[in-house]
Chains A and B, each alone.
Chain A
Amino acid sequence: MNYIPISPKERDAMLATIGVKSMEELFRDVPKKHRFPKLDLPPALTEMEVAAELNELALGNENIRTDLVSFLGAGAYNHYIPAVVDHILRRGEFYTAYTPYQPEISQGTLQAIFEYQSLIAALTSMEVSNASHYDGATAVAESVNMAYAQFRGKRTKVVISPAVHPQYRETLRTYVQGMDLTLAGDDPETVSSEQLSVNSLEALVDENTALVIVQYPDFFGRIYDYTALIEAAHAAGALVCVAANPTALALFKTPGEMGADMVVGEGQPLGIPLSYGGPYLGFFTTRKQYIHKMAGRLVGETVDNRGQRAYVLTLTAREQHIKRERATSNICTNQGLMALASAVYMSLLGQTGLRQVAELCYHKAHYAAKNISKIKGYSLCFDTPFFHEFSVCCPQPVEAINDHLLEHGILGGYDLGRDYPSLKDHMLIAVTEMNTKDEIDALVDALAEVNHD
């Protein structure tokens, strides 16, 4: 379709149709002084000048492909993205982030979402995946909406581990503001002790608890088997949501296998580049018995009137455009392009390839952790098993250490003291398949130097 700007003739026809004579008359209800406010803008530039200015601004960035070696994770991870992912994304047929308003006419888009759903369901060992959410934080928040609706508002407590990503918890607090819900366990001060993990959460679960939320691996990179916690929650009648790192699921027991009712998370590690503010990808899975309360879209496979395979948006009667205020969520959309990216990434790597990525991450992270813990003044904060991220107790403030690392071209770890006051001078370090042995050795050397300063 061509873009056709409005002509004066068409404008006159529209004005005549609605019964006004001029633009002036159309806007007469807007006070004159507000109609065309004087905007304090610099003089207009040519396209060439704008391109030059933006280029200059962009050169001020340092990126982890060319300028820096990154050991920063904390929810977003630096993985290799095969070229074919971008190649497929940029095909005109796919290059829209939105599910079309007449979805069934776009069978290719629906099939891509269907494949995405199937892959995510397999990765999490769950029965159903929706078509995706905006990011991990909103996916976690939707788990609360779903649990709240499942108990029809009769259970009003949500137990959340303080070791869930601080930004996920912040998003959740925003979501529940207007709801009759209380959050229990959302206390960063309890995190320093090992026993924060499972037992303390279990004690918070009662007959009024709608949902228990934990993260896997948790924000500190630690791996726990939540099976016992999930069983205890189920015994109290509560649901359990596990926010999971998808890469880790290729290697470890899945939350689905542990009995979780919902497995959600940030899909960025699956072929989506690091970028400040996204777009990222939220994945959301659950069990069949809960799909009528699940937010978002769902693509199903069926046969058309000629018996051919076809894809449809199914269960739309749950969505807000039909159910209005009785819908369980106001989310009727998905992150189409990013879901496609992750589907291409997953199908390209396959089960074996994804496991290889996870194993590389695991072994490199453990190599890094072992060598960092040998440096005088540094130690691992926890002795719990971890995946590709670990917490290090540092001899100096993290900010000072990161300044030093930056001088060596290294983007250091996340300063845990920012979110957990009791974890001052604690750094969260992530290692992925992108970090070479030389880079890890350089990190260890640079950290050792800090101590000598």
Chain B
Amino acid sequence: MNIPSNLKYTKTDEWFDLATGKMGLSDYAQGQLSDIVFVEIVVAAGETVEQGKPIASVESVKAAAEAYGAASGKVVAINEELANSPEILNKDPYDAGWMVQIEGGDASGLMDAAAYQKYCEERAH
């Protein structure tokens, strides 16, 4: 399981990059969902998001899930590629698979990589 150390993580399995303001789904989340067939980002650039509020709807061959804001702030960009190629979320969750970019993000309460690793391992049992 890939958990980059430069990122922060939520309990709902999103990652957040403090440096860029980008967020997405963790490698653990994409693995649990299996093949992702549909992504709809439900916020638009210019809107504000709140930590813990839905930012995207994700459907895989076996489940439907929501992605929640990893931080509160203003959306400056959304990844338009995902609508056409949702499989990017499976192939490259931390880079090409970014979902939205948040500016002025209040990212308090997130886990670091070590804490998230532990959190994922606990759930595996």
Is A90 located at the chain interface by the 8 A CB criterion?
A: no
Q: Is A318 a contact of B66 with CB atoms below 8 Å?
A: no
What residues on A are CB-neighbors of B61 within 8 Å? 317
Chain B: minimal CB distance from A147 (Å): 15
Q: Is A326 a contact of B63 with CB atoms below 8 Å?
A: no
CB proximity to B under 8 Å, residues A135-161: 152
What residues on B are CB-neighbors of A317 within 8 Å? 37-38, 59-64
CB proximity to A under 8 Å, residues B40-65: 40, 42, 57, 59-64
What residues on A are CB-neighbors of B40 within 8 Å? 292
Instruction: Give A residues with C-beta under 8 Å from B.
Output: 152, 292, 317-318, 322-323, 326
Q: Is B64 a contact of A318 with CB atoms below 8 Å?
A: yes
Contact size class for B? 10 to 19
Main secondary structure of the interface of A (DSSP, over half): helix
**Nearest residue in B to A293 (C-beta to C-beta)?**
B40
Instruction: Give B residues with C-beta under 8 Å from A.
Output: 37-38, 40, 42, 57, 59-64, 66
Other than the given A317-B59, A318-B64, A323-B64, 6 more pairs (CB < 8 A) read: A152-B42, A317-B38, A317-B62, A317-B63, A326-B57, A326-B66
* Complex alpha-carbon distance, A322 and B62, angstroms: 9
Please name the 8 residue pairs, one residue from A and one from B, whose CB atoms are nearest each other, closest first: A317-B59, A317-B64, A323-B64, A322-B64, A292-B38, A152-B42, A317-B63, A322-B63
Chain A: minimal CB distance from B11 (Å): 20
What residues on A are CB-neighbors of B64 within 8 Å? 317-318, 322-323, 326
Chain A: minimal CB distance from B64 (Å): 4
What residues on B are CB-neighbors of A152 within 8 Å? 42
Q: Is B59 a contact of A318 with CB atoms below 8 Å?
A: yes
* Complex alpha-carbon distance, A161 and B60, angstroms: 39
Q: List 20 A-B contacts (CB under 8 A).
A: A152-B42, A292-B38, A292-B40, A292-B59, A317-B37, A317-B38, A317-B59, A317-B60, A317-B61, A317-B62, A317-B63, A317-B64, A318-B59, A318-B64, A322-B63, A322-B64, A323-B64, A326-B57, A326-B64, A326-B66
